[in-house]
Amino acid sequence: MSSSHTSERRYQSGFGNEYATEAVAGALPQGRNSPQRAPFDLYPELISGSAFTAPRHENRRSWLYRRQPSVVAGRYQPYAQPHWHTGGDRAIAVPPEPMRWHPSPLPANLADIDFVDGVHTMCANGDADAQQGVAAHIYMAGRSMERRAFVNADGEILFVPQQGRVVITSEMGVLEIKPGEIALVPRGVVFKVALPDGPSRGYLCENYGAQFRLPELGPIGSNGLANARDFQAPVAAYEHAEQDGKVAYELVKKFGGRFWTAPTSHSPFNVVAWHGNLSPVKYDTANFMTIGSISFDHPDPSIFTVLTSPSDTPGTANCDFVIFPPRWLVMEDTFRPPWYHRNVMSEFMGLVYGEYDAKPGGFKPGGASLHNAMVPHGPDEEAFDKASHADLKPQKLDNTLAFMFESRYRFIPTASALHSPSLDTDYADCWAGLKDQFKT
Ligand SMILES: [Fe+2]
């Protein structure tokens, strides 16, 4: 691949743009998508990320010009990936209380585990076939996929790396992200993952529902939060096909919650040029323009939404991806950490680095917490006490990045997450010391 080993990668800017890119000049047909013979005898192939008739502002598709069409593959056989679950398992009884997991230790055989085999589902909701809900996964892997490729027919995948860089080679080109950055790979786009730093861990949101998009800004106006120009899509890059007809790649496909594998005699990364508005993208959360109160109180955490997957009910997301990045706190006469609350929405949280202000001690990078619908939660005893007596001078919360996958659907932990040795069985104790201090 022309650019897979360079650290200076080239990108196109924007979110959902009409991107256009060619690795060989002249490879994109001009004025039409499917000429009788495409330039350089490439095969035109359309990938639709929305129904053909979706409204124009929702419509996503790209035209790929490739050495062989993706329909050329061997026969599929079942593939075992026992840790990756799809949708909520209603047979599991979910405790109606706050839950938290310490980071799992990286397995000793990590060097043998690649991204596909290293995904462990923490919790999920909805149903991929109903195109509703999300799964929250943690990946732990140490080996690059090399000649293995993966495609997910069940949903798009949002990458939130926590340890180690991730190089995503996709049909549209190569994206590289590091902790603090995120990437979004659309449903059905073939990709593979290389891990240049070896032992790697991170979070994934697998979204079965409507594609993530930038939230509406309302009275914020035409700028702010995640700005569209800061998203980056790859430029076209292709591999050379095998010469001797031997098996070139193994393609693993996730399809209806099941996994399948097929050999291919060519590389799936054979797209010489493409155009359209369906593409993987990356985003550096350091570019998030954070908005908060400059008087008193603080806004609802929805002010930190980077991307949203709407449901059929306005304002009630299938999933919001929300970050808690470095920011200044300047509010007067205000309890500055999050308030105690219950929420009809369900909240899965992770921590990329640093400390989360509501739980400075117990919530570790690489760990997770789950506060499901109407489960009360809030600052632990220590955070409450400190914030209630703090000198309210301007304060920078720095070197921290927590995030939340928030969904209208209750998250159901997997059996392995519920019985994991990493489950923090003492989590509730962090609120036990909050005494009645009512004084008349
Ligand atoms: Fe919350």
Q: Do the domain assignments include residue 422? A: yes
Q: Determine what percent of the chain is predicted with pLDDT higher than 70.
A: 97
334-356 per-position pLDDT tens digit:
999 999 999 999 999 999 999 88
48-97 per-position pLDDT tens digit:
999 999 999 999 999 999 999 999 988 999 999 999 999 999 999 999 99
Three-class SS of 133-177: CEEEEEEEECECCCCEEEEECCCEEEEEEEECCEEEEECCEEEEE
Distance (Å) from CA 293 to ligand 1 centroid: 18
Asked if residues 308 and 211 have their Cβ atoms less than 8 Å apart, the reply is no
Question: Which residue bears the tokens 């790929």?
Answer: 64
Among the residue ranges 21-30, 31-40, 262-271, the one predicted with the least confidence is 262-271
pLDDT of residue 1: 46
Q: How far is CA 192 from CA 148, 206, 209, 274, in A?
A: 7, 16, 23, 18
pLDDT of residue 2: 43
Element containing residue 370 per DSSP (H, E): strand 368-371
Question: Number of H helices and number of E strands within the chain?
Answer: 3, 28
Measuring CA to CA, which residue among 283, 287, 288, 310 is closest to residue 406? 310
- What is the token pair recorded at 107? 């397995």
Q: How confident is the model at residue 243 (pLDDT cuts 50, 70, 90)?
A: low
Active site residue 298: yes
Distance (Å) from CA 371 to ligand 1 centroid: 7
How do beta strands 166-170 and 43-48 pair?
unpaired
pTM metric for this prediction: 0.96
Distance (Å) from CA 63 to ligand 1 centroid: 41
Q: Do the domain assignments include residue 302? A: yes
pLDDT of residue 7: 58
Q: Is the pLDDT of residue 6 over 80?
A: no
Nearest-angstrom CA–CA distance, 411 and 125? 5
97-156 per-position pLDDT tens digit:
999 999 999 999 999 999 999 999 999 999 999 999 999 999 999 999 999 999 999 999
Nearest-angstrom CA–CA distance, 69 and 292? 49
Q: Is the pLDDT of residue 5 over 60?
A: no
Burial of 117 (0-12, 13-18, 19+ CB in 10 A): buried
Distance (Å) from CA 342 to ligand 1 centroid: 7
Q: Do the domain assignments include residue 331? A: yes
Distance (Å) from CA 66 to ligand 1 centroid: 46
Nearest-angstrom CA–CA distance, 367 and 34? 48
Distance (Å) from CA 52 to ligand 1 centroid: 38
User: DSSP letter string over 81-136?
Assistant: -TT---S--TTSPPPSS-EEEPPPPPPTTGGG-BTTTTEEEEEE-SBTTTTB-EEE
Q: How many domains does the chain have?
A: 1
Asked if residues 183 and 166 have their Cβ atoms less than 8 Å apart, the reply is yes
Distance (Å) from CA 427 to ligand 1 centroid: 15
pLDDT averaged over every residue in the chain: 95
pLDDT of residue 356: 81
Measuring CA to CA, which residue among 363, 296, 333 is closest to residue 100? 363
Q: Do the domain assignments include residue 34? A: no
Q: Do the domain assignments include residue 353? A: yes
pLDDT of residue 3: 43
Among the residue ranges 5-14, 188-197, 209-218, 240-249, the one predicted with the least confidence is 240-249
**Catalytic member of 298, 341, 371, 389:** 298
Q: Which domain holds residue 399?
A: 289-427
Segment 388-409 shows an average pLDDT of 96
Q: Is the pLDDT of residue 360 over 80?
A: no
Q: How confident is the model at residue 363 (pLDDT cuts 50, 70, 90)?
A: confident
Q: How confident is the model at residue 201 (pLDDT cuts 50, 70, 90)?
A: very high
Q: Do the domain assignments include residue 109? A: no
Q: Do the domain assignments include residue 364? A: yes
Which domain CATH number covers 294? 2.60.120.10
280-325 per-position pLDDT tens digit:
999 999 999 999 999 999 999 999 999 999 999 999 999 999 999 9
Nearest-angstrom CA–CA distance, 308 and 320? 4
Q: Is the pLDDT of residue 326 over 90?
A: yes
Exposed e or buried b per residue across 131-153, where buried means at least 16 C-beta atoms within 10 angstroms of its C-beta: ebbbbbbbbbbbbbbeebbbbbe
Q: Do the domain assignments include residue 271? A: no
Distance (Å) from CA 226 to ligand 1 centroid: 21
Distance (Å) from CA 354 to ligand 1 centroid: 19
Segment 20-40 shows an average pLDDT of 98
Burial of 426 (0-12, 13-18, 19+ CB in 10 A): exposed
